[in-house]
Structure 1
Amino acid sequence: MTPDERRAMSDELRMTCMKISRRTRFENVESVAPHQFSVLCKLMDAPLPIGGLAEAECVSRPSMTRTVDGLVEGGYVVRVADGGDKRRTWVYITDAGRESVLQTKRSRDVWMNERIAQLSDDECELLAQATAILARVVAR
């Protein structure tokens, strides 16, 4: 493959990944915005302070505060003051937030599985190989 062909393939791959990402983002059952869903996913394993969420999402603290405010209003998270440091507030996902994440993931899985089901066995095998390659590319 020539350098020009590699660049063209790279561009096509990037655009296709963006389309898949955009399409699956809108497969959510709840009325949670994509940036809010990302925060909820971060909280599934453990609570985080606002600053930790801001850093994980690569946004400012004020921006994360607004995002968390919306999630609190929706009943998806709660804020809890740190007992040892009054300046620090922890964000915990609620049962409603956890259920929203699980429902959205199920909906996105259905969307993807419906499309994969339309592929031939050979295409599925090729897609599995490509997925492994893409995972390596992203890990670098």
Structure 2
Amino acid sequence: MPTIERAVRSDAGLASELRLSVMRLRRRLATERHPDNELSLGAMAVLGCLHRCGDLTLGELAAHEMVQPPSMTRTVNCLVDGGYVVRRRHATDGRQVVVELTEQGRATVLADRARRDAWLARRLTDLTPEERAVLRKAAPILDRLAQKD
């Protein structure tokens, strides 16, 4: 079986190792969610998107989260029912609906983010300064890879 170092010498090997590592980290971070948080990861992603981007239409949210508009409508309906977001008419286009984060939604996303950030910060202390420097350089590159074409 090839070692990881040997496998990542090719672009295909690097792609495979990155995919696996990122998926494992994502799953691990998902387990660090606040125990009282019953929202799905998709619903939390919507709250996070609204927190980062501000109020968005359903179509904009669907595009940001790379889902179909009917799926986003279902997610937003659940978030409205839970009091995490509110809907309002678009200021200039009455046909569109804008989704806005409530204080409950903001508190939920911040608490969830703080818990997972704290876990990751603790794990980073186990790394050498050189390893943390590599991750500091890699973070914006990974973010760029994740952006929609």
Say yes or no: does 1:59 pair with 2:64: no
1:34 correspondence with 2:46: no
Deviation at 1:107, TM superposition (A): 0.8
Q: Match of 1:96?
A: 104
Residue 89 of structure 1 and its aligned partner are, at CA, apart by 1.3
Looking at structure 1, the residues matched to 141 and 93 of structure 2 have their Cα atoms a distance apart, in angstroms, of 45
Spell out, residue by residue over 1:12-52, the C-alpha distance to the aligned partner (whole angstroms, 9 max, x if none): 12210111122213322222211111111121242111122
TM-score, normalised relative to structure 1: 0.82
Question: Would the aligned equivalents of 2:86 and 2:102 in 1 still touch at CA under 8 Å?
Answer: yes
The CA distance in 1 between the partners of 2:107 and 2:49, in whole Å, is 14
Counterparts in 2 of 1:41 and 1:135: CA distance versus 1, 3 Å: closer
How many percent identity over aligned positions?
36
Number of the residue aligned with 1:82? 90
Task: Say whether residues 1:25 and 2:33 are aligned partners.
Answer: no
Give the number of the structure with larger relative contact order, counting CA–CA contacts within 8 Å between residues 6 or more apart: 1
Unpaired runs of at least 5, structure 2:
none
SS in 2 for 1:91: strand
What displacement does 1:78 show?
Answer: 0.7
Aligned to 2:127: 119
TM-score computed with the length of structure 2 as normaliser: 0.78
Of 6, 16, 22, the match for 2:21: 16
Indicate the RMSD between aligned Cα atoms, in angstroms.
2.7
Q: Distance in 2 between matches of 1:81 and 1:129?
A: 42
